[in-house]
Every structure is written in C-alpha cells, then in structure tokens.
Amino acid sequence: MHALEGGFANAPIDAAHAFRAVMNVTARPGVIEAVQGATPPAPLSIAAGVVVLTLCDPETPIFLTPRYDTPAVRDWIAFHTGAPICAPADAAFALGEWDQMPVGEFPLGTSEYPDRSTTLIVELPELSTDGATLRGPGIEHTATLSLPEIETFQSNAQHFPRGLDFLFTCADRLAGLPRTTKVS
Amino acid sequence: MDGSDPNAARKAWMSMLAKSPATLLAQLWGAFVPPQHSVLRAPEIGGVMVRGRAGAVGAAFNLGEMTVTRASIKLSDGTVGHGYVQGRDKAQALTAALIDAMMQTDVAPRVQAEILTPLGNAMDQMKSTRAAKAAATKVDFFTMVRGED
Amino acid sequence: MYVAVKGGERAIDNAHAWLAEERRGDSAVAELSVPQIREQLALAVNRVMAEGSLYDPDLAALAIKQSRGDLIEAIFLIRAYRTTLPRLGASLPVETEQMSCDRRVSATFKDAPGGQILGPTFDYTHRLLDFKLAADGEVPQAAQTTGREEQTPHIMSFLDREDLIQVEGEGADVPDDLTRAPMELPASRALRLQALTRGDEGFILGMAYSTQRGHARNHAFVAELRIGAVPVEMDIPELGFAIEIGEVTLTECETVNQFKGSKTEPPQFTRGYGLVFGMTERKAISMALVDRALRWAELGEDNVGAPAQDEEFVLYHCDNIQATGFLEHIKLPHYVDFQSELELIRKLRREATALQQVAE
C-alpha cells in the first residue's frame, strides 16, 4: 500500500465520528468504542491511525517509540496530518507500545496551562474491561479496564490539574484514561 | 537556487502552478484529457501562516494567514502528484496535482510545451508590465543651478 | 425576582431581511459585484486583509459587500472565517529583498541603488475632488519604461555594512502566535509585531503620532518604504522540500532613529519595523514607529511613561475586533444587571434620606 493512502475517505464526516468516540471514551473511562476509517501502515492499529488523523496537525508534535518510528509511519503521518516527529519533552502526542514509553520525560502541563501536556496513544495487545478498577469523574460507581499497569497511573493522577492523558488502542477499539481517574 | 538541487525542476513547476491565475490554467488544461487517476487527498482549503522577519533580517514573526488549497492524486502507473495553489479554487488544486504527476511521466514534454511554457510566459509578461510601469515612476533628480554666481 | 425572558425572533428575522434590502440599496442602481470591489476599492480590501489577518482579496471584497462598507464589521467576518480554516502549516519567513517593487522610496538617501520609485501613490496629488470620476471616463494608460530585473537591496544594509545600525537579534525558531496561545507579557518582539500588524489602523496611527508629538521622544526617519509582491515559500512535509505556495503584496517600512547609546550599546541608529499585508502605507509607517517605541527596554532606554511605551496598553487595546466586541456588547440586553443596579441605588438613597432625617 502506498504511504499516502489509508486516510479518511470523507475527512469532515469521518473525523467528526472519530472525535465523538475519542470524547466519549475520555468522558467515560472504562468504556470501549470501535472506530473506523483509517488504514495506517503497520505496526499502527486502525484505532491508533484514526486517533492520529483526528487529533494531530502541524502544531501537535508527535513522539514515536522506536518500533513505531519507521519511514512508512513517518511518511503517513506527514502526509495526512503534517505533524512533526519530536522528542518526548516536546510531544503533544506520543504513540507506541507501553513498555517503550519514556513516561517521565513527557510534559505534564503547567498550573496556568494544564492542557500543555502530552496525550499518550498506547497500543495494547489486548483491550478489555477486565482489569484495574477505575473511579472518578465520568464513572458512576466503578469501572474496570485492562491497563498495562497501575502505579504509573496512580502517580499521574496526583499531579492534578497537571498530568498526562491516555488513549488505549487495540485493533479497531479505543478506550481512554484522563488524569482525573483514580486507579486501583 | 543551487543548480545541483535534484528537486529544482519540480519545485519550479509546482511554484509556478501555485501562483498561476486560475482561469488561465483552466484554459490551457482544457486541451488535455485528464489521465486515469485516484484521489489521495481531495481538494482541501486551508490557511498558511505567513511569516516575516523583524527588520527584514532578524527574528521571525507571524504576519497573518493566507488561503491555500491543496490536493494529491495518484496516476494508474503509481506516480503521485501534489498540487498547492494560492486561494480557494479546488479545481485548480486538482489540476495542479495532475500536472505535477504528468510532469514526472513521459508526457512531460507535451505538458511543458502546451501548459507550463505558455503559463510561465503569460505570468512573466504580467510581471514585467508592472515592473515597466513602476520604472516609469522612478524619480530623475537634477541639480538646480545655484544662484550666487 | 429573576425573570427569564425570550422573544424577538420575528423581529430579528424581519430586521435581517430589511438589512439585506438596505444593503442592496435602490434597485434602480446597478448592483456592485465582488470583483468590482476587489479591483476598484483595493485599499479597503487591503485593510480588511491586514486587520482580518487573512490574505485573500476575494474574501475581503465579499466581506466589504456583506458589511455595507463597514470595514471593522468586514474584518470581523474575515476573522470569523479564518478560524474555520485548518492550518496547513507556516511559511518560511518572506524575503522582502526579493520584492518586485511597485513603490520604493527613501527619505534618508536620495541616490539609493534601485532609485526612488513613486508607484501608484496619492502623494503629490492636490487632494482636490476629481469630478471627472463622477462621470464614466476613460483612464489614461500608465507610462512604461524598461523595468528593473535585479533585486532591490534594502537601504538598511548600507548602514549595516558600516556598523552604524543596531543588529537585529535572533528569535525563537517557532515565533509566538497570538492566534494560538493567549498573549503573555512581557511579550517577545515577534508577538508585538504580530499584534501591531493586525491591529487597528486608526489606533496604531494615533499611537505613532503621539510618539512624534513628544510622548516617547521618537524622531524617526523613513529609511525605506517599499510595496510590492513577494513570493511565499513553505516546506511541504510530503515532498521534503519547500515550494512557493503563492505571492502576497506587502508594505514594508523601516525607520531609523537616533540613539545616544546606553551602558551596553555604542551610539548608533536603531530600527523600527513595519510589515503589513497589501498596499497599506500609513499603517506600515505607524507600525514601525510604535514598534520602535515599544523597544525601550531591550535598547536600554528610559521608560518616560509615554502611552506608546506601555506594552500592556498598546497590545491589549490595538485589536479592533476585541475592542468592538466588548464595546458593542453593552448595547445588548442587560435588563437583569440593570435591575439590580436600580435596586441598589434606590436602597442607598433610602438610607441617605433616613440618615438626613435623623440628623435634622
């Protein structure tokens, strides 16, 4: 497949649907939604591709973990979003597998501008509602999600209102974990 | 421009297409049957932030945006063409992308002769007419004879 | 008691319909087309592009038509449209040295290389109404002579060679952008220049004039004023190289100011800089003067308390869309706010009257 293919067929409509899915999973941590419309190059999942097409542009630098930093991925991101590839400290987004993410190096935002932090798009081999217990805004009592670990997310929530936000992707499915969620 | 720049020729034709008058390009393109192609990026209108330099030589600053329309296509032989044009004419962006692709194939000489050369000549003509009018408003100073002699 | 009210929909619809009719004016008079506005009211179009911060003559002309010639309303329409555009990227800084000059004058050097090119100027006209324009008339052809092919060097570069002019500093690779992040003070020069170039022409002119009249001791010479078309280049990520994506007409003004020197700087000339979309000469000169006045701190000068030296005052009040938005909102319904004001003033009066009676 050509690196310049695999974008949204109908960008305004596809991006609107995808944005709604991203918003829903962020507003309701633990909920998993299916998305479609992107055919990104390997190793990106469909869901990760959809998120990149929907949220990234020339003003959102992306950090790629080594396995994801391939010429095909770079060309695809450059053509479809124009987002520059960057070091962790400059990242608006980070994309890759969990154990390769330099979590401590991403910006957490400032007290004045907590939005100036990184959103991590974490590719998981499995994504289900079996796993860690989640509490907080958007969750009535508790929810569960197959997080790759617990401690990092616990300490991340302590920086509030600063902190990282997470989107978990697996095949065509998507879940979210904002900095407001308490994990146990 | 560095003569050894491998992208110099493509840069030149893409730049000319970007600045071309849409009606003139459409007229010249009218004589061509568009080749088979698929659209990689449908024509998209956007803004580009134009930058200047403080004091013309110093630090960059943001001057304001301009409208730009872009499109990308792929010919059936796999050649990819990109079109970027100033303004909001989607047909012009698609035409520019097709011409960019065709200029990379063996129909390039015909595209050059029937579109790019006449287009370039017309644009040069417009530019030199303006320069000629400007030149006519150049001040010729002459020194007045001083009165004390 | 708080009473929520709604209504007026029919009145609003009818008002807008009447607006459309009034905009058209007397239907016995031919309707203005957008190309007519673009071609024949070009300086209004240029102002709308500069302050609307979007270079697109057709859109600016449409906005002028829609706003019935109210340029601030037209600028508002352009600013609103601008926000709907995806940002495809940022250009490389334009090289004004490459400008094909329609006009280029210097008030400091008579015999500058490239010469004094007057261009299509109002200068040296008598400012007498031309009644020939009231009737349809033939336009005489502009004269032509052999045009200049080579680039026109900047006048400042000659002073620069002698080390007589302050050196321009480097800045951030990605300059601050007030359309993307809220303005923070003290502002970088990049942010100041961005705010000034899209600022209200009248406000910037007034500020510049105040420096000439003695507020901030700013005695500027126009070293160079040039107007013309400049190519705009942008790096294209999918190509891996830069192409020209268009051409914009700009007005550039460079001023020189005398500078006695400071603890860190020798006596030399300093610069003020104006760069504005379109043929917008008054605005570009004004911008250069205000830019220079705002530079007091970086040049080690005293703040003499002049309004034009006050960054907060200038940058927060130069935007006519922000200003008009806040100003004009006070004509919209404030029934509830005013009701509480009314109750407060009645209460205060009752108390004052009661106190008076006790005193008597």
Subunits in contact with chain C (3 or more CB pairs closer than 8 Å): A, B
| Of B70-84, B102-116, C298-312, minimum mean pLDDT range | C298-312
- pLDDT at residue C4, as a whole number: 62
- pLDDT at residue B3, as a whole number: 56
pLDDT tens-digit readout, C132-151: 888 877 788 999 998 888 89
* CB-based contact, B42 to chain C, within 8 Å: no
Contact criterion met (CB < 8 Å) for B138 and C117: yes
Tell me if A151 is assigned to some domain.
Answer: yes
Number of structural domains chain A divides into? 1
What ipTM is given for this predicted complex?
A: 0.93
State yes or no: pLDDT of B1 exceeds 50. no
* CB-based contact, C96 to chain B, within 8 Å: yes
Contact criterion met (CB < 8 Å) for B74 and A11: no
- pLDDT at residue C279, as a whole number: 97
The partner residues of A64 in beta bridges, in order of sequence, read: A95
In which domain, by residue range, is A95 found? 11-183
Tell me if A3 is assigned to some domain.
Answer: no
pLDDT tens-digit readout, C236-268: 988 999 999 999 999 999 999 877 777 667 788
Subunits in contact with chain B (3 or more CB pairs closer than 8 Å): A, C
- For chain C, percent of residues with pLDDT exceeding 90: 72
Tell me if A165 is assigned to some domain.
Answer: yes
- pLDDT at residue C5, as a whole number: 67
Mean pLDDT throughout C158-180? 86
pLDDT tens-digit readout, C35-73: 999 999 999 999 999 999 999 999 999 999 999 999 999
- For chain B, the domains span 8-122
**Average model confidence (pLDDT) across chain B:** 93
The partner residues of C230 in beta bridges, in order of sequence, read: C248
- pLDDT at residue C34, as a whole number: 98
Tell me if A43 is assigned to some domain.
Answer: yes
CB pairs under 8 A between A and C: 19
Highest mean pLDDT among B3-7, B65-69, C218-222: B65-69
Closest CB to B47: pick one of C88, C119, C143. Answer: C88
What is the full per-residue pLDDT of chain A (184 aa) written as tens digits? 567 888 888 888 999 999 999 999 999 999 999 999 999 999 999 999 999 999 999 889 999 999 999 999 999 999 999 999 999 999 999 999 999 999 999 999 999 999 999 999 999 999 999 999 999 999 999 999 999 999 999 999 999 999 999 999 999 999 999 999 999 9
CATH of the domain at A170: 3.40.50.11310
* Residues 6 or more apart in contact with residue C195 via CB below 8 angstroms: C178, C183, C187, C314, C315, C318, C319
Which residue of B lies nearest to C154 if distances are taken between CA atoms? B56
Tell me if A18 is assigned to some domain.
Answer: yes
Contact criterion met (CB < 8 Å) for A7 and B80: no
Contact criterion met (CB < 8 Å) for A75 and C90: no
**Average model confidence (pLDDT) across chain C:** 92
SS3 content of chain B, % helix, strand, coil (to 5): 45, 30, 30
For residue C149, the chain B residues in CB contact (below 8 A) are: 131
Contact criterion met (CB < 8 Å) for C238 and A75: yes
Burial (CB count <10 Å: 0-12, 13-18, 19+), residue A36? middle
DSSP assigned state of B34: P
- The CA-atom distances, in angstroms, between B54 and each of A27, A67, B48, C84, C310 are 44, 42, 19, 28, 20
